[in-house]
Amino acid sequence: MTFTRPLTLAAAGILAAAQAFAADLPRRTTYVAPAYTPPVFTWTGGYAGLHGGFVQKRATGLKNQNGFAGGAQLGYNYQMGGFVVGGELEASYLGGGKSKRNAASLVSIEQKWLGAAKLRAGVALDRTLIFATAGVATSKFDVQGVGNKDKWKTGYLLGAGVEHAFTDNLTLKAEYNYLRFGDQKVALAGGGVRKSELSDHVVKAGLNYKF
């Protein structure tokens, strides 16, 4: 008994010392690679694209003229959180159809070209942008009948649309625009003159490339 007790005490001391030494040793850690986080899409940047669609040209007192509208656009967007603002320049060809004469008028009006400078503002839902637009538009009207003349008229534009980014560079949009160009004097068949209000309704789709 007297011989084993010192051995037991010595073994306990050695075990305690080993535990203390092991506690002082640096611990080996396992490296964990950070999770991949895809880049967040942003609408900020310039873009250019093409559009095509349908236009209804109206001149009160004349028959409405429906036709194709097509052209190009160039713009820039800036995103602040979920809010997007931007500007756009647009040029369109409106098919050249005439607002035809009726029994009361001696005049027909032809509208071929349209240019617009627009501001856009909207809400970004990740890759989908819902926006409203407003701006200034100018268009050439060829008046045929009594006192034939060609004239550029300036008016205003209001509209709304939705745009979706299918990739980081390609977006597709659908948009509606209402345009108002003021009045045009129209000669009447029975004599006299009256004013005809000129306006357009445009529904279009467009493809943009984002820089």
- What does the pLDDT profile of the chain (211 residues) look like in tens digits? 555 665 565 556 666 665 665 566 566 667 677 776 666 899 999 999 999 999 999 988 788 888 899 999 999 999 999 999 999 999 999 975 666 666 556 677 888 899 999 999 999 999 999 999 999 999 988 877 655 577 889 999 999 999 999 999 999 999 999 999 998 877 666 667 778 899 999 999 999 999 9
Distance of CA 135 to the CA centre of its chain: 14
* pTM of this structure: 0.78
pLDDT of residue 2: 56
Per-residue exposure over 159-184, b if at least 16 CB sit within 10 Å of its own CB, e if not = bbbebebeeeeebebebebebebeeb
d(Cα 145, Cα 167) in Å, to the nearest integer? 51
What token pair was written down for 180?
């108002």
pLDDT of residue 195: 80
Name the DSSP class of 31.
Answer: -
| Torsion angle (degrees, nearest 10) of CA 176, 181, 185, 186 | -10
pLDDT of residue 87: 98
User: How is 107-141 classified by DSSP, letter by letter?
Assistant: -EEEEEEEEEEEEEEEEEETTEEEEEEEEEEEEEE
Dihedral over Cα of 11, 15, 16, 21: its sign: positive
- Domains along the chain with CATH numbers: 45-210 (2.40.160.20)
pLDDT of residue 46: 98
For residue 106, the surrounding DSSP H or E stretch is: none
